[in-house]
A and B are shown apart, each in its own frame.
Chain A
Amino acid sequence: MAPSNPLANWERLGTSFYRKIPVYYSLFDEDVELENYIVAGAPYGGAIALYRDESKPLRFRDAQPGKSNIDIYSRSGKLINRLNWEHGTIRGLGWSDQEELLVITEDGTVRRYFGLYGDFTSFSLGNGSEEYGVRACRFWNSGFVALLANNQLITVSNYNEPRPRLLAQCPEGEVASWSLIPPAYTLSRSVEVLLAVDKTVYLVDPTEAEDKVLQNGPFKHASVSPTGQFVALLTAEGKVWVVSSDFQTKYSEYDPDSRVTPRAVEWCGDDAVVIAWEDEVHLIGPNGAAARYYYDGTVHVLPEFDGVGLLTNDAYEFLHKVSDVTEAIFRLGSTSPASVLLDSIDLLEKKSPKADDNIQRIKSSLPEAVDACVKASGLEFDAHWQKRLLKAASFGKSVLDLYNSDEFVEMTEKLRVLQAVRDFKIGLAVSYDQYMRLTPEKLIERLVNRREYLLAIRISEYLQLPADKIYVHWASSKVKVSTVDDEAVCKLIVQRLDGKPGISFEVIAQAAYDEGRSHLATQLLNHEPRAGKQVPLLLNMEEDEIALDKAIQSGDDDLVNYVLLHVKSKLPIASFFRMINTRPMASALVETTARDEDTELLKDLFYQDDRPLDGSNVLLSDALKEPDLPRKQEKLHLASRLLSDSKDPTLVLHQKLINESSQLLKVQEALDKDLAERSEFFGLSLNETVYRLIRSGYGKRAQKIQSEFRMPERTYWWLRLRALVAKRDWGELEEIGKIKKSPIGWEPFYNEILGAGNTKLASAFVPKCTNLPAEERIEMWVKCGMVVKAGEEAFKAKDVNTLELLQGKASGPAAVEIGRMINQLRPKK
């Protein structure tokens, strides 16, 4: 076949060119009457969905009432799948970036078909959609907006966790047309909707509906450019306006001279607008320049971000702006270096010496020329011109001394991939720019969705991308379709996937389980190396014990908790306990959770496990929380009984102390009643109670409690000392000092009283500290400021050195006194 003229189908539009590239021919048979179908195309040249337009009359011969389908075709017209549709009136048909088909019915039910083969999830729009009914939907690459019959707008911006949200309340009135601006291009970061109502247009975001105050409505079409900068409007008089999306500037106006309202107004890239009637398409460029195309049959416009796809029965064409590089190379009379470089290839093949002349002429800008050729090759759809341009680039760079060939190499790789997927058998009509935006990984995903496993694996190997997902997908569908017995399928899958890294057997097992082959699922799960991954599926399969074990194995406490939560709600409590009590981690986690939320469960658990101490502790902490004495007593009583019933000798003390606390509470209540106006003693510890009693001057009662609770004598003395000091009851302390012996010695008395600042009384205790060495007593005297006494002590100990030191500290008569002592001690010579 002779190479096509690169300039074929170029159309000048103002200062730039547009071209319409035929990608595939003879798509549909005659009996597919495109005019009767609603057509939606997945972004990036993906699949197209056809659904019979119910508003169109049916021709008699194919009248099959009540039976309708959504047909999914590739862009080359190959039927991929046919979905039976019996779920009501479709009000929205669209695609996401991931090539998921979204079908929205009148009652607000959204079905998301993923993987092209009929797997779907569904959710409801809510927000009054059942009541009023959905009227229409508009899609962007990761979400959609639904318009209800009451002009309310509902948006869903994430299909994985769909959260239908209302936009601001919209004005009443007939909506003539509407369109949306994707969140990526709005200031509010939320989707915004243009609603043409009456004569004007409203811009609706989540918080408000703003009237843009226009006069030329009702606008029968409104369309936002791919980057959200411009809006094309079809006015009541049938003119096309292009305005900025803030409606401040009008850029151009075009009059198509047609009475008939166009069927579609779409953007072709960011610079041109396509308006389409049944069989006529106008391309409107800046400043109202236009090109017209005529067709024999119905044409459907499938917008992309870099152009539009035009779909007829005979062909699928891609209409887009000719890029600057391409234009510079192919334009008639072009003298750009790249163009010259391309020419020199011809000359080279003719072995003409002019080839070298050409090269010499553009030598200075050769690197740019090579770059341009590489870039332009990517934008071509025709293999001939791709090769040609790459050849030119390769020739050019062979002349250069230094050139980084990375881009060249990458381009050849990309082109190979593009060529492979554009093949009519695959039918992914993806342009170079679209491929760049889609990314290779997503492209492979699309191939996998079409079950083109071999090609997908080849491409991922070629591009060195992980292939695990492809294998998993293959295995999953194998599980679904194969009819041989479980053993064989499992063996086959394991054999094929052996040694392939990153295989998630869990996903395959899930697929098997979904097919109802739970035995196969269990078998497959055994090959999953990641314990954690197996858990959710095992739970679904009601293999609770195995799930719990696997969760524990993974060490992930979240997973264990999750299983426990699940199991607890399902099993009777006794079997639940049986399940956890052999698994320490599980029972520890149950205990921790229950401690916060469910102490009854805890008690049952401890009872079942025969752990009386833990059980009684739960009751004890319950007792702490109870609001009044009788209830506290009751809990304490229960706690104590639990321990005594167990007859465990090591718990005797614990039980005794619980009883003691109950007794103490009783005493304290009585104290409160007798002595205090409000609760003052209740809840204190025993020591605190005694301390407070003494400090408040109820020494007798304190003593009674001491004996009642057999408080150690030493403790009691300490408490009394501290309380009296705090009370500044020096008289009482002096009284105590007259007793001969103290169980805690007398030094604490000295220290505490001195600490309280009473040096005089403190000093009274110094002589009683007979067990201390003399030096310390000296120090004690000094601290009380009684140097003479200290001196006397030193004198008794016959310590001259200390005396001399003391003398330095003393003054007046004290110094004299000490001097006297020193003299006495000095050996008389």
Chain B
Amino acid sequence: MADFTLIAEPPLKGVDHNFGDTRLYAPDDLAIVSIALPLGAEDATLQAVKSGFGADLPAPGQSVMGNDDTRLVRLGPDQAFAIFTRATPDAEPHVQSLLKGAAYTTDQTDVWTGLMLDGPLARTALERICPIDLHPDAFAEGAAARTVMEHLGVLIIRTGPDAFLLLSASSSAGSFLHAVETSLVNVT
């Protein structure tokens, strides 16, 4: 019998386009793990996050960088994402080993697709499709928001003055790429 080897591949793997000085690309080996704070044990979880990642879980709508370039995003009172780079398919056990059972963790790597938008046109392109106010005064570096762009749910995180990480459902990755690309073409 033939011996098959399956290779996990993100839906937008290899996407890398330049629009003037602005670059739109799919980050390699993006890993996402959700962290749910158990009801009544929130304080213990926050403590575990601090010792596991070396950073306090921020307020909802904010993100911070922890150890090993792990970005901790607080999505709501009892939910957070850990976003990091990992080539091996063991993101969830990795996070669970850091938290030592203090939170419910679920691997989200394959259900989301990531796009990085970096450059002077980033905000101009996004303001056409993103209902969130992206002015630095309202959406500073580290700010994160779940919202909707072109009817697709998106988690947007400002990772730099002109850099945004956009996460959307992998099942509609092609449509999402099309939406962002179209907006970029329209402002280039």
- Binding between chains A and B: no
